[in-house]
Structure 1
Amino acid sequence: MRLRNLADVFASAEAEGIQLRIGGAETQVRRPRANRPGRRAFVSGKKKLNTIKSTTITDGQGRLLWSGADRPGRMHDQTAMRTEGIAEQFRLRPRDRAEVDEGYRGPADEFPDQVSAPPKKRTTLTRNPFLISLPPRPTASIETASIRTRSAYRDDHQPSALAATRLQVQ
């Protein structure tokens, strides 16, 4: 069977009960000529190279069913998906199911019963314990702070006996 357009792909998947896999691919291209309008559009934000991006749809066995138009590398996967009409096909066919890659998290949130995306990565705060905010330190009086500052410049780096007794009194 020949699938000529995107609507045919979704109609076939709905009729046969196939779960689609949607992904984006970036291909490096030569740098466009100087003074060409839209030259910066090909610079990918992810790869920092001149690329073109295409959206592909495969079946569960990895056979290519549809490949979208090539878009400039600067365009986000999610924007390309909406431009090509994939999101509209999910609205028209609520029984279709798809697995998507990380770039399509928006449609996965918009169509949670139809589109499944990989789990989100852990945030930076959970990976780096130094970025987590610490509870505020208790403040000391100005007199005690000046004694600590002076004692920090001593050769032995030990607080003086006077400063230690003042800290214990408070």
Structure 2
Amino acid sequence: MVGNRARAAIIRSRQITGLTPEVIAELIAEVGPLWHERHQAGLASRPRSRAVGAGAKHKLVFIDRLLATLVHLRHGATHDVLACWFGVDRSTITRAIGEVRPLLATRGCTIAPGIRLRTLAEVVDHLGASGQTGIIDGTEVRVRRPAAGRKDREKFISGKKKQNAVKSMVVTDADGRLLFCSPAQPASCADITHARQLGLVKVLADGPVVEVLADAGYQGLGARTGGRVVTPPHRKFKKDAPTGTRRCMNASAKLTPPAASGSSTASRT
């Protein structure tokens, strides 16, 4: 486990965790009791073969478990690297991240004192009540290639980045403040398909009238949501050009001979 000085340095450095010491203190005070309660419930759920207090003690206290999870989420550091950093086994880091991540996910996004958003429906209701414009986009995080023989192994290959990754949909307001981040899934799924699977179409259609800005990856959601999702127009290809424009293009092509053919004729003469 890391020493007190190293732990304090990690907490003070915002570049490492992405959070201020005040926010980390709030997470420790709020998530710590939840983790301890789940841990005790897990111990009580199986028959006890030892006396209370017996057995091996935790080498990784909750603060270190939280810091390891924050570093992993921010920088994508592998469990092996974190294990060397915190002085424990790799399986301990894997177990710690698996326990802390769900607690952070259920906590939601705090946008104001006493206001916390956990679901897409709550986000849409907040945008409608405040009259703000929302922004949605998909983000991808590179992951290690799944083991050979794993089912649906190819689903992790991203068509955009040409690498193994997982994808999440992020919703922010016009000021860039995070309101919602969906659970990650294999990156081969298109952005618009991911949004439909999360129920964004139904939430926007049944919720208050809000305006949500999106990129070209979400083209088509505007018609499904009554114009609530605003996307860039489709690109106009030459085959879809108007008749007058096509005629002008054909006429200019006949009047202007190709440069390659002119140069080859000159070389032959």
Q: So what's the TM-score if we normalise by structure 2?
A: 0.45
Tell me the equivalent position of 2:217: 103
Instruction: Write the distance in 2 (CA, Å) between the matches of 1:41 and 1:77.
Output: 14
Q: What is the correspondence of 1:54-65 to structure 2 with a 5 Å cutoff? A: 54-65=168-179
For 1:27, which of 141, 165, 170 is the aligned residue? 141
Following superposition, the deviation at residue 119 of structure 1 comes to 2.6
Counterpart residue identity of residue 217, structure 2:
G
Structure with bigger strand share is 1
Q: What is the correspondence of 1:2-151 to structure 2 with a 5 Å cutoff? A: 2-123=116-237, 125=239
Counterpart residue identity of residue 100, structure 1:
A
Partner SS state of residue 120, structure 1: coil
Q: Which structure would you say has the larger RCO, counting Cα contacts within 8 Å and 6 or more residues apart?
A: 1
Structure with bigger helix share is 2
Q: 1:124 to 1:75 in 2, by over 3 A?
A: farther
Partner SS state of residue 220, structure 2: helix
Counterpart residue identity of residue 59, structure 1:
D
Following superposition, the deviation at residue 76 of structure 1 comes to 0.8
Structure 2 contact 128–208 (Cα < 8 Å) conserved: no
Tell me the equivalent position of 1:163: none
Structure 1 contact 94–114 (Cα < 8 Å) conserved: no
Partner SS state of residue 194, structure 2: helix
Unaligned runs of 5+ in 2: 1-114, 252-267
- Coordinate RMSD, CA, aligned: 2.5
Following superposition, the deviation at residue 111 of structure 1 comes to 3.0
Instruction: Write the distance in 2 (CA, Å) between the matches of 1:92 and 1:109.
Output: 14
Structure 2 contact 121–207 (Cα < 8 Å) conserved: no
Instruction: Write the distance in 2 (CA, Å) between the matches of 1:14 and 1:75.
Output: 29
Following superposition, the deviation at residue 91 of structure 1 comes to 1.0
Instruction: Write the distance in 2 (CA, Å) between the matches of 1:80 and 1:14.
Output: 23
More moved, 32-41 vs 101-110: 101-110
Q: So what's the TM-score if we normalise by structure 1?
A: 0.70
Instruction: Write the distance in 1 (CA, Å) between the matches of 2:188 and 2:250.
Output: 35
Q: 1:122 to 1:52 in 2, by over 3 A?
A: same
Following superposition, the deviation at residue 83 of structure 1 comes to 0.8
State the Cα deviation string for residues 70-116 of structure 1 (Å, max 9, x = none).
Answer: 01011111111011111111110251210011110020232352111
Instruction: Write the distance in 2 (CA, Å) between the matches of 1:58 and 1:10.
Output: 11
Unaligned runs of 5+ in 1: 135-156, 159-170
Q: 1:32 to 1:10 in 2, by over 3 A?
A: same
Following superposition, the deviation at residue 46 of structure 1 comes to 2.1
Following superposition, the deviation at residue 123 of structure 1 comes to 2.2
Counterpart residue identity of residue 145, structure 2:
R
Q: Which has the larger radius of gyration?
A: 1
More moved, 105-114 vs 65-74: 105-114
Q: 1:124 to 1:52 in 2, by over 3 A?
A: farther
